[in-house]
Structure 1
Amino acid sequence: MDAPPQPCAADSELELARARCGALHGRLAASPDLPRHPALRSLLRLVTAELGFLASAPRPDPAAPLSSNLPHLAALHLLLTHPAVRSPSRLAPRPGVDFACAFRGRPAWALVSASNPARLAWAPRGGLRARVAAVLDAACGAPPATRPEKLLLAFSRGVGADVALGLAEGFGAVETDLLAEFVGVSEDGNEEGWVAVSFNASEEMRSFRAFVIDVVEGAGEVLLPPEATVAEGSHDEEVPLGFEGAFGAFVGKMWRESRELVNLDTTALVAIVSGISNGGVGELMAAPEAVTRARFKCNYKFVMDQVIWK
């Protein structure tokens, strides 16, 4: 009687992938953000398809690595649910871009890689350098309403020294710490002034390396016509922006006291005109900065600028 076939390493790899994909599917399906999160809904469909592929995959060839999109899907999930990532778009809004979002309060396009660093090519044609250059060109040529200020490149398994150097020298990329938002400071500091910190990030996030590239130097600076500029030494004068009355005075103060572009959407304009946005100025100014930042998150500066302008 023939002995039953012994499980090989390839079988174990497939079973592990099935288990991990099932766990990811369960987390996505149970997420309370799923109904209002188009990117997570798109990701759930991709994970469902990948789970079906892995469930029906034949016994793999021991000599060949398992071919699966699971690492990339898992990296997307980690980045989409990162505290610094807000309002992500649907997945793959344009070629080469995984999703658009607000990263730490600034419009950004995200590029996610789950490739083995040893196999991540930089210089050859079709390598990472070409992809980054193509996305950067697309970002610079995008309409102002959809143009990002930053490119966020996230590598879930790290990167080699050649890639990090190429990003820095070729595109002015700056490495950023994705664990920064996970640091919690305890209230029980000791007499020497030391405080304890704790990390709530998953183990997978610890292997991430991320880089940020500015799409346009000085992005976010308001560009006004020549007649709207303020002459040196005349900062106390009204800025002739072409608006009259109280609203003109408001815009003039906005230009003098804040150089960041503000999107005056309908909600903000209604709040400005009606004055309801300033009903709690005293309470906002009296609250500790940490409390206000936790309350308004990426809108903190906009809210505080309204208080100052008033």
Structure 2
Amino acid sequence: MTPPPNATDAAEVQRALARCRALRDRLLRSLPPSKLSPPARRTLLRLVDAELRFLSRLSSSALSHPIPNHLSTNLGYLESIARVLFHPSVLAVSRVCKPLRPSSSHVDVVATLARAPVWFLVSDRNPHHLPWFGPKGLHARVERILAAARSAGALTPASVLFVFSSGLADEAASRMVNEFGAVETDFFGGSDLFEELEEGWLGVRAKESKVFEIKIDSNCGGDGVVPLGVVEDEVEVGSGHGVFGSLISKLSPPGGGETVEVINFDTTALVAMVSGISNGGCERLLKAPEDEMRARFKSNYEFVMAQVISELQNPILAELEIAVAGKKGIICESVRSEFKELIAMCGGANEKLRAARLIKCLLVVPDNPSARVTSLPTTRKIDLKNKIVFGTGDHWHAPTLTANMGFVRAISQTGMSLLTIEHRPRALTGD
């Protein structure tokens, strides 16, 4: 039996709709919030929703209005962006499908890969429709992107990765290598992105993809495994007992010049580790008379009690233990100074003891922020103090453990990808 007019077109649109819905569901269900900045997530979902609306309109009219030639959508491009985002080594995504100032060059993904800032340029075009020459050819596009990357100042990446999801013709691939010094990488490793769907669609396969990397700035990259010299004399530190003792026992010892993976702590992280709230003081605070607690914490009463409830529901040190396990903890001189002042003014006897033990487990490094963080304009939200703290972590290619999400958001809004690990805040209680 001959299919009705446009039935083939309608079936193709329905398949595209199923893929688009699956993409949206996967992004909402499986992409960790910590991987994407909120603006990047909103941009991506807005693009997917626009594609869904387009395909829905097309579906409702497909049987009565023929679809000219091949169905042309942005779905393959969006699926290719998602493949990059779901890669386990792609972290701290600050931009998706937006131009970067001041060059206004369109970059598909700005992220961190192997502890280094990178840009991704993604193409889902048929390789036979990717001309090398001409103003819109691949050669001109690569030249524009490389020029923008090298003049991006604080946003200069360590490398630019060009992802050709549908492959690249042999001649163009050869020219990428010979004319731009690109290196072809096995970025996806032949993996698939999506699971099998009920409709029978198997998702986007990576086997045809070609990915080329071009190095830009060799000074802003790093694999997070760096040699650390001894800044202070090594001190023998007992792990102690309880959750705090368990936490600090997971840190790599502070002494020695061995090559290790490091994690940077800001003051909020140190306070959270030693706080009475995090170390068994919640029940005592809850049982104390409310008027006594209000007099003690004044305007911070609601803030502190919210932390107590949060701690009872989900203890924080167990989370931090996972984040720091096997890593060498570092703090810069500014953090040590600020932490000691806070403990002296607000810490109780037990908090002071824990603080002293914690400091002995950490390596204190000089204030030495990276050039890219230093070059960001100092503003009310991107203040000098935090540029020093987070920039020193960036200098060591280390993520910074922090509850200071205002600063993290401000950095993300500049377009910079900066490695951070968020923790819930905790206050000193005088314990």
TM-score (norm 2): 0.47
Match for 2:332: what amino acid?
Answer: L
Which residue of 1 is the match for residue 208 of structure 2? 207
- Which residue does 1:269 correspond to in 2? 332
The alpha carbon displacement at 1:153 in A equals: 0.7
Q: Is the 8 A contact 2:117 2:220 kept in 1?
A: no
Counterpart residue identity of residue 41, structure 2: L
Q: Deviations over 1:100-147 (max 9, x none)?
A: 11122221111000001111111222111111111111111111x211
Provide structure 1 residue ranges, at least 5 long, that are not aligned to the other structure: 183-201, 223-245, 248-256, 282-298, 304-310
* CA deviation after TM superposition for structure 1 residue 170, in Å: 1.4
Q: Secondary structure of 1:87's partner?
A: strand
Residue 361 of structure 2 corresponds to: 279
> 2:50 and 2:334 mapped to 1: Cα distance?
45
Q: Under a length normalisation based on structure 1, what TM-score does the superposition of the two structures give? A: 0.63
Paired residues in the alignment total 230
Aligned to 1:69: 74
* Equivalent-residue separation in structure 1 for 2:336 and 2:110 (angstroms): 31
Match of 1:135 in 2: 145
**1:214, distance to aligned residue in structure 2 (A):** 0.8
Judged with a 3 Å threshold, the aligned counterparts in structure 2 of structure 1 residues 141 and 264 are, in CA distance, closer, same or farther, namely: farther
- Report the identity percentage: 33
Checking the alignment, whether the CA contact within 8 Å between 1:34 and 1:41 is kept in structure 2 is: no
Residue 163 of structure 1 and its aligned partner are, at CA, apart by: 1.7
Confirm or deny that 1:113 pairs with 2:123.
yes
Q: 3-state SS of the aligned residue for 2:95?
A: coil
Task: Report if the CA contact (8 A) 2:117-2:221 is conserved.
Answer: no
Amino acid of the structure 2 residue aligned with 1:204: R
What residue number does 1:80 align with?
A: 85
Q: Cα 1:277–1:157, aligned 2, differ >3 Å: closer, same or farther?
A: farther
Task: Give the aligned partner of residue 20 of structure 1.
Answer: 19
Find out whether 1:174 has 2:173 as its counterpart: no
Residue equivalent to 2:287: none
> How has the CA–CA distance of structure 1 residues 154 and 32 changed in structure 2, closer, same or farther, with 3 Å as cutoff?
closer
Larger mean CA deviation between 73-82 and 89-98 belongs to 89-98
Higher RCO (Cα < 8 Å, 6 or more apart):
2
SS of the residue 1:204 aligns to: coil
Which structure is larger by alpha-carbon Rg, 1 or 2?
A: 2
Identify the match of residue 162 of structure 1 among 171, 176, 180: 171
* Alpha-carbon contact 1:93-1:100 (below 8 Å) kept: no
Q: Partner letter of residue 156 of structure 1?
A: S
CA–CA separation in structure 2 for the residues paired with 1:27 and 1:139: 31
- Structure 1 residue identity aligned to 2:86: T
Residue 148 in 1 paired to residue 157 in 2?
Answer: yes
Secondary structure at 2:132's aligned position in 1? coil
Distance (whole Å) between structure 2 residues aligned to residue 84 and residue 181 of structure 1: 15
The one-letter code of the counterpart of 1:141 is S
Q: Which residue of 2 aligns with 1:10?
A: 9
Give the direction of change, closer, same or farther, for the CA distance of 1:78–1:209 in structure 2 (3 Å limit). Answer: same
**In structure 2, C-alpha distance between the alignment counterparts of 1:203 and 1:67, rounded to whole Å:** 17
Note the aligned Cα RMSD (angstroms): 3.8
- 1:147-190: CA deviations, max 9, x gaps? 111001111111111221121111100011123597xxxxxxxx
In structure 2, the CA distance between the partners of 1:278 and 1:16, relative to structure 1 (3 Å rule), is farther
